Amino acid sequence: MKGSEGESAYAAAGVDIDAQERGLREVQELARSTFTSGVLSQIGGFGGLFRPDLSALTEPVLVASADGVGTKLAVARLAGDHSTVGRDLVNHCVNDILVQGATPLFFLDYVGAGVLDPAQLVELVRGVVDGCRDNGCALLGGETAEMPGFYQRGDYELVGFVVGVVERARILDGSRVERGDVLLALPSAGLHTNGYSLARKILFEILKLSLRDRIPGDPAKRRVGEWLLAPHLSYLRPLRPLLAHPGLHALAHVTGGGLTDNLPRVLPAGLAAEIRFGSWEIPHPFRVLQDAGDVELEEMFRVFNMGVGMVAVVGREALPEISKAFAAAGQRALPIGRIVEGERGVIYDLGLTEGGEETELER
């Protein structure tokens, strides 16, 4: 099979290797800017080589995780701004190993598209690079795939893989959690990277809003696009000094499944997380989504983070010291509940109803 004059057969089939190479050359330079002392290879090999310095650890354990950005990518495409989702991806993955007490060593990414736009690729990877720099890990390598006929034109996928390390004795696995522990919520910046399919349906289809429109009734007067593309925060900086603190009993990253499904992942059998509804101010945009979409409160807490990006389970005696450490790091930490005896799960203490009866939303 031959292409048109001067065109390869592969390009005629929809894959332009030369265009890929132009984008990859710039991507390689960006990745090199994240290299730490452990990197032994250059970008472009079949695999990345990394020699970690484990001399300070007695029994090091590697922790790995993989994730994507979900349909937040659709918002980025609609906005024509692909510069932020790469950082979202790194931060999400770093938080996922952070909850086990691990700090990141290196990161890998995957970009798949129907037609690979070199400028868009560079923009995406630049965001990944920014996230790696922020979190002190190396972008060790990655993969780009151009697959016409599989991805629709304009669509792309962005996936990341992180590897970190933790001292075995300091692994956070929930085994330290006990009755009476306090739940400290670290606020999110918005949706982070979950719940976008429902949020887009409500904002764009039901409310007929555009990215430029302001969120109805929002005291902060944020625009829809601004809020939807708000960054997925990394909590590594405020939490790193506390990972060895004996009073930090567990961490839960509030992603898909919200507080309802993520908190039980760090609870031992026989204990439940009791969350006091109203102990933190749920950001206004979530209330807009609930009202306009006629979404039940229970579903809201399973789909969205409701303004909480991370929960630290803290021993009551250590609460003053850990709260002070968060404040010194410039991190808000709000007590939203406690650990109680019960079936593993989350109990939402909704307070008193108009009739005076105590109500709970249990799962």
Q: For the residues 1-8, what does the mean pLDDT come to?
A: 56
Predicted confidence band at 18 (pLDDT cuts at 50, 70, 90)? low
Which two tokens mark 101? Answer: 């007490």
* Annotation: CATH topology of 182-362: Phosphoribosyl-aminoimidazole Synthetase; Chain A, domain 2 (3.90.650)
Q: How many CB atoms lie within 10 A of CB 168?
A: 11
pLDDT for 185-194, tens place per residue?
999 999 999 9
Q: How confident is the model at residue 352 (pLDDT cuts 50, 70, 90)?
A: very low
Query: Domain 9-170: what homologous superfamily?
Result: PurM-like, N-terminal domain (3.30.1330.10)
Segments of the chain assigned to CATH 3.90.650.10: 182-362
Which of 16-20, 41-45, 209-213 shows the lowest per-residue confidence on average (mean pLDDT)? 16-20
pLDDT in tens, 301-332: 999 999 999 999 999 999 999 999 999 999 99
Q: In what order do the strands lie in the sheet with 103-113?
A: 60-68, 156-167, 103-113, 138-146
Task: Provide the CA 192 distance to its chain's centre, in angstroms.
Answer: 6
Distance CA 189, CA 206 (A): 24
Give the model's pLDDT for residue 351: 66
Whether the CB-CB separation of 337 and 183 falls below 8 Å is answered with yes
Cα 93 from Cα 69, distance rounded (Å): 10
> What pLDDT shows up at residue 251?
98
For the entire predicted model, the pTM comes to: 0.91
Indicate whether 256 pLDDT > 80: yes
Distant-in-sequence, close-in-space partners of 6: CB < 8 Å, separation ≥ 6: none
Q: What is the pLDDT of residues 143-187, one digit of tens each?
A: 999 898 898 888 899 999 999 999 999 999 999 999 999 999 999
Rounded Cα gap, residues 183 and 199, in angstroms: 27
Note the pLDDT tens digit of each residue in 195-244: 999 999 999 999 999 999 999 999 999 999 999 999 999 999 999 999 99
Q: Is the pLDDT assigned to residue 13 strictly greater than 80? A: no
Of 100, 109, 118, the C-alpha closest to 165 is 100
Would you state the pLDDT for residue 360?
Answer: 44
* Per-residue model confidence (pLDDT) at position 16: 55
Amino acid (one-letter) located at 34: T
Q: Where in the chain is the domain with CATH 3.30.1330.10?
A: 9-170
What 11-18 contacts at long range (C-beta under 8 Å, 24+ apart), as own/partner pairs, is: 13/148, 14/114, 14/115, 14/146, 14/148, 14/149, 15/146, 15/148, 16/115, 16/116, 16/146
